[in-house]
Amino acid sequence: MDVALKIWRYDPESGERVLRAYEVDAPEWACLLDVLDLIKDKHDGTLAYRKSCRMMICGSCGMRMDGRAVLACKERMKPLVDAGHVPVISAMGNMPVLKDLVVDMAPFWSKIRAVKPWLDPGYDEVAEKERIVSQQQMNAIHKESLCIMCGCCVSECNSMESDPEFLGPAALAKGFRFVGDVRDHADVARLNELNEEHGIWDCTRCYFCNERCPKGVDPRDAIAKLGAESIRQNVDHDMGAKHAKWFVKSAETTGWLRETELVPKTQGVVSAVKQVGFALNLAKHGKVPPPFPPHVAKDVKEARALRDLVRMQGREGAAGIVQGEHALAQIEHVLDADPDSAPASRIAPEKAGGKSGGD
């Protein structure tokens, strides 16, 4: 089949950045990576990109297709060709571009190293045999252990785009791989570090990482698990943690969110005072509901009782998220079997909404 695509080329030696069009004859089973190989072999050997396993396990070939990070070896070209779509290929985002589709992964790796990504069992000697750990305990970190360090999650991370020092989804997911590993005994130390600036509470919950991850790691959920463990272990000094805890308090007292008190509870009274001007402006428009009388939901007693009840059932902290993963793992299986329930095709030209998908 005839495959046409455009690639953003960047030559570091001349500084030139230019969008080039290519067309090659590729087999029907070809993925994006195969097409790049054909271009490099037959048209332009200077095209630079990383590759190795071509089977979605090494993590080398992360790049953007129409502005979205993908593994080049995973993207089949036939659906695009059939739809008459010409994709634009570019390097992953949030990382400096070295050449063409090759990014400098050094900042990525230094963030991984920053979470001390090795088991800390709390002792030095090697045990005689394996540590006894149940499959259920290991399942707590199953998803995080799938990570192939491809960088796709980092590419569109909205928080990192705004704050480049944000540790990011890959590093944080790796952090949970250890916090959630029952054999690791440095939980509290790890959580304290991850609760610092540019850590857990910097995540903006845009879910781009979950959406982009080609392996189903769901980094956002790993970050939520870290938050849950932090709060469970009373590592909760960060404003983000306080903000989250206030939601719980609201739910079990009035049911509805006690918005007015959210600012002082999150940011502390001093900071709340500094915000008075801003708050008054909001109040003018009725955006600051009076804290009194409290807006209480009907039958809120049930919500209170629920909290007391569930707290006794041993699913505290990250376990509360892990318990749902078994069901979520079924999603793709079920959706794939039922085409009607799958989201609209990636490329539905008659419906596609323009700019957000491109470069």
Partner 1 sequence: MAATETKRVAYYKGCLASLSAKELDTSTQALAPKLGLELDELESVTCCGAGDIHEAEPDYYLHLNARILAYAEQTGADTLMTICNVCTLNLRQANWQLKNDDNLRARVSQNLETVGSPPYGGTVEVKHLLWLIAEGDGYELLKQVAHKGLKGLKVAPFYGCQILRPSKILGFEDPDRPWSLEAIIEACGGEPIDYPAKIKCCGFPIIQAREETALGELIQPIEQASEAGADAIVTPCPLCHLSLDAWQSKLKKATGKDFQMPILHLSQLIGVAAGLEESELKFKRHVVSVEPVVTKLEA
Partner 2 sequence: MDAKHDVLVIGAGCAGMRAAIEAHDAGADVALVSKIHPTRSHSGAAEGGINAALGNASEDSPEEHAFDTVKGSDYLGDQDAIEILCDEAPDDVYQLENWGAVFSRTEEGRIAQRPFGAAGEPRTAYAADITGHVLVHVLYEQVMKRNLTVYEEFFVWKLVEHDGRCQGVIAWNLLDGGLTTIGAKTVILATGGAGRLYTGTTNAYACTGDGMAQALQLGIALKDMEMMQFHPTTLAPTGVLITEGCRGEGAYLLNSEDDRFLKRYAPNAMELASRDVISRAEQTEIDEGRGVDGNVLLDLRHLGAEKILERLHGTRELSMVFAGVDPINEPIPVRPGAHYHMGGVDTDVWGRTTLEGLYAAGECACVSVHGANRLGGNALMETITYGKRAGAHAAEWALTNTTVEVPASAAADAERELNELLDRRDGERPWSIRNELAETMHENFGVFRREEQMQRQGELVDELRERYERVVVDDKGQVFNNDLTQALELGFLLDLASCMIVAGIERKESRGAHARPYDFPDRDDENYLRHTIVRWVEGAPKLEWKPVKLTKWQPMERKY
Q: How far apart are CA 264 and CA 128, in angstroms?
A: 53
- Confirm or reject binding of residue 218 to partner 2 (CB under 8 A): no
Nearest to 174 by CA among 217, 144, 212, 143: 144
What is the CA 176 to chain-centroid distance, rounded? 13
- Which of partner 1, partner 2, none does residue 113 bind (CB under 5 to 8 Å by kind)? partner 2
Q: How far apart are CA 180 and CA 175, in angstroms?
A: 9
Min dist CB 350 to partner 1, Å, is 9
Helix (H) or strand (E) holding 137: helix 135-139
Amino acid at position 1, single letter: M
- Confirm or reject binding of residue 185 to partner 2 (CB under 8 A): no
Q: Which residue has the tokens 């090494």?
A: 58
Q: Which of 333, 339, 344, 350 lies at the binding interface for partner 2 (CB under 8 A)?
A: 333
- Confirm or reject binding of residue 336 to partner 2 (CB under 8 A): yes
Question: Do residues 342 and 335 touch, judged by C-beta distance below 8 A?
Answer: yes
Which are the contacts of 128, defined by CB distance < 8 A and separation ≥ 6?
A: none
Structure tokens at 137: 């305990």
Collapsed DSSP state (helix, strand, coil) of residue 130: coil
- Which of partner 2, partner 1, none does residue 261 bind (CB under 5 to 8 Å by kind)? none
Collapsed DSSP state (helix, strand, coil) of residue 221: helix
Between 296 and 335, CB nearer to partner 2: 335
Q: Which of residues 14-43 bind partner 2 (CB under 8 A)?
A: 27, 29, 40-42
Q: Which of 6, 74, 85, 232 lies at the binding interface for partner 2 (CB under 8 A)?
A: 74
- Which of partner 1, partner 2, none does residue 128 bind (CB under 5 to 8 Å by kind)? partner 2
- Confirm or reject binding of residue 52 to partner 2 (CB under 8 A): yes
- Which of partner 2, partner 1, none does residue 20 bind (CB under 5 to 8 Å by kind)? none
- Confirm or reject binding of residue 249 to partner 2 (CB under 8 A): no
Q: Which of 50, 85, 243, 245 lies at the binding interface for partner 2 (CB under 8 A)?
A: 50
- Confirm or reject binding of residue 133 to partner 2 (CB under 8 A): yes
Question: Do residues 289 and 259 touch, judged by C-beta distance below 8 A?
Answer: yes
Q: Which of 2, 16, 126, 286 lies at the binding interface for partner 2 (CB under 8 A)?
A: 126
Question: Do residues 198 and 167 touch, judged by C-beta distance below 8 A?
Answer: yes
- Which of partner 1, partner 2, none does residue 59 bind (CB under 5 to 8 Å by kind)? partner 2
Q: Which of 2, 18, 131, 286 lies at the binding interface for partner 2 (CB under 8 A)?
A: 131
Binding mask of the shown chain, residues 254 to 293, with x at each position contacting partner 2 by CB under 8 A: ----------------------------------------
Between 102 and 262, CB nearer to partner 1: 262
Question: Do residues 36 and 54 touch, judged by C-beta distance below 8 A?
Answer: no
- Which of partner 2, partner 1, none does residue 250 bind (CB under 5 to 8 Å by kind)? partner 1
| Phi, psi (degrees; rounded to nearest 5) at 64 | -100, 135
- Confirm or reject binding of residue 329 to partner 2 (CB under 8 A): yes
63: β partners? 70
Question: Do residues 160 and 166 touch, judged by C-beta distance below 8 A?
Answer: yes
How many C-beta neighbours within 10 Å does residue 201 have?
Answer: 20
Which are the contacts of 1, defined by CB distance < 8 A and separation ≥ 6?
A: 25, 26, 27, 28, 30, 77, 78, 81
- Which of partner 1, partner 2, none does residue 347 bind (CB under 5 to 8 Å by kind)? partner 1
Strands (E), the chain: 2-11, 16-25, 62-65, 68-71, 88-90, 97-99, 102-103
Chain residues binding partner 2 by CB under 8 A are 11-13, 27, 29, 40-42, 44-46, 48, 50-60, 74, 76, 98-100, 102, 105, 109, 112-113, 117-119, 121, 126-135, 138, 141-142, 145-146, 148-149, 178, 181, 183-184, 329-330, 333, 336-337
